Amino acid sequence: MADEGSQFGRRRSPRRAVLGMAAALIGLALVSAVLAVSHAPELEPVLFRLGLGGTALIAAIGQVLILGGLALLWSALRRTR
Protein backbone atom coordinates (compact mmCIF):
# COMPACT_ATOMS: atom_id res chain seq x y z
CA MET A 1 0.00 0.00 0.00
CA ALA A 2 1.29 3.40 -0.94
CA ASP A 3 1.19 6.34 1.37
CA GLU A 4 -0.54 9.55 0.29
CA GLY A 5 2.82 11.27 -0.26
CA SER A 6 4.15 8.57 -2.57
CA GLN A 7 2.89 10.16 -5.79
CA PHE A 8 6.02 12.34 -5.84
CA GLY A 9 8.36 9.56 -4.80
CA ARG A 10 8.40 10.41 -1.08
CA ARG A 11 6.68 8.47 1.65
CA ARG A 12 6.51 8.91 5.35
CA SER A 13 9.31 6.89 6.80
CA PRO A 14 9.16 5.60 10.37
CA ARG A 15 12.83 4.55 10.13
CA ARG A 16 13.92 8.11 9.28
CA ALA A 17 11.72 9.44 12.08
CA VAL A 18 13.34 7.09 14.60
CA LEU A 19 16.84 7.97 13.37
CA GLY A 20 16.03 11.67 13.61
CA MET A 21 14.72 11.30 17.14
CA ALA A 22 17.76 9.25 18.17
CA ALA A 23 20.15 11.85 16.73
CA ALA A 24 18.30 14.66 18.49
CA LEU A 25 18.40 12.80 21.82
CA ILE A 26 22.11 12.00 21.49
CA GLY A 27 22.80 15.66 20.72
CA LEU A 28 20.73 16.73 23.71
CA ALA A 29 22.70 14.34 25.92
CA LEU A 30 26.02 15.79 24.64
CA VAL A 31 24.98 19.39 25.23
CA SER A 32 23.59 18.49 28.66
CA ALA A 33 26.83 16.72 29.58
CA VAL A 34 28.90 19.76 28.58
CA LEU A 35 26.65 22.00 30.67
CA ALA A 36 26.86 19.64 33.64
CA VAL A 37 30.66 19.47 33.43
CA SER A 38 30.99 23.23 33.12
CA HIS A 39 28.73 24.00 36.11
CA ALA A 40 29.75 21.32 38.60
CA PRO A 41 32.75 22.17 40.81
CA GLU A 42 33.64 18.51 41.37
CA LEU A 43 33.93 17.95 37.59
CA GLU A 44 36.29 20.88 37.08
CA PRO A 45 39.33 18.63 36.36
CA VAL A 46 37.40 17.06 33.46
CA LEU A 47 36.69 20.52 32.08
CA PHE A 48 40.36 21.49 32.24
CA ARG A 49 41.38 18.20 30.65
CA LEU A 50 39.01 18.84 27.72
CA GLY A 51 40.10 22.44 27.33
CA LEU A 52 38.23 25.26 25.66
CA GLY A 53 38.52 23.78 22.19
CA GLY A 54 37.36 20.33 23.17
CA THR A 55 34.40 21.64 25.13
CA ALA A 56 33.31 23.89 22.27
CA LEU A 57 33.73 21.07 19.76
CA ILE A 58 31.60 18.66 21.79
CA ALA A 59 28.91 21.32 22.25
CA ALA A 60 28.94 22.12 18.51
CA ILE A 61 28.63 18.45 17.58
CA GLY A 62 25.71 18.15 19.98
CA GLN A 63 23.96 21.16 18.45
CA VAL A 64 24.45 19.81 14.92
CA LEU A 65 22.99 16.46 16.01
CA ILE A 66 19.99 18.19 17.57
CA LEU A 67 19.24 20.35 14.53
CA GLY A 68 19.97 17.59 12.02
CA GLY A 69 17.87 15.08 13.94
CA LEU A 70 14.93 17.45 14.19
CA ALA A 71 15.19 18.26 10.48
CA LEU A 72 15.23 14.54 9.66
CA LEU A 73 12.26 13.95 11.94
CA TRP A 74 10.36 16.86 10.38
CA SER A 75 11.00 15.70 6.82
CA ALA A 76 10.04 12.12 7.67
CA LEU A 77 6.70 13.05 9.23
CA ARG A 78 5.45 16.05 7.26
CA ARG A 79 2.75 15.72 4.68
CA THR A 80 3.33 16.69 1.09
CA ARG A 81 1.40 19.59 -0.35
3-27 pLDDT, tens digit each = 555 554 556 788 999 999 999 999 9
Mean pLDDT of the chain: 85
Contacts of 61 (CB under 8 A, 6+ apart): 27, 30
Spell out the domain ranges in the chain. Answer: 28-81
pLDDT given for residue 1 in this prediction:
47
Average pLDDT over residues 23-49: 91
Average pLDDT over residues 26-44: 91
What is the helix (H) or strand (E) element at residue 74, kind and residue range? helix 44-77
pTM: 0.77
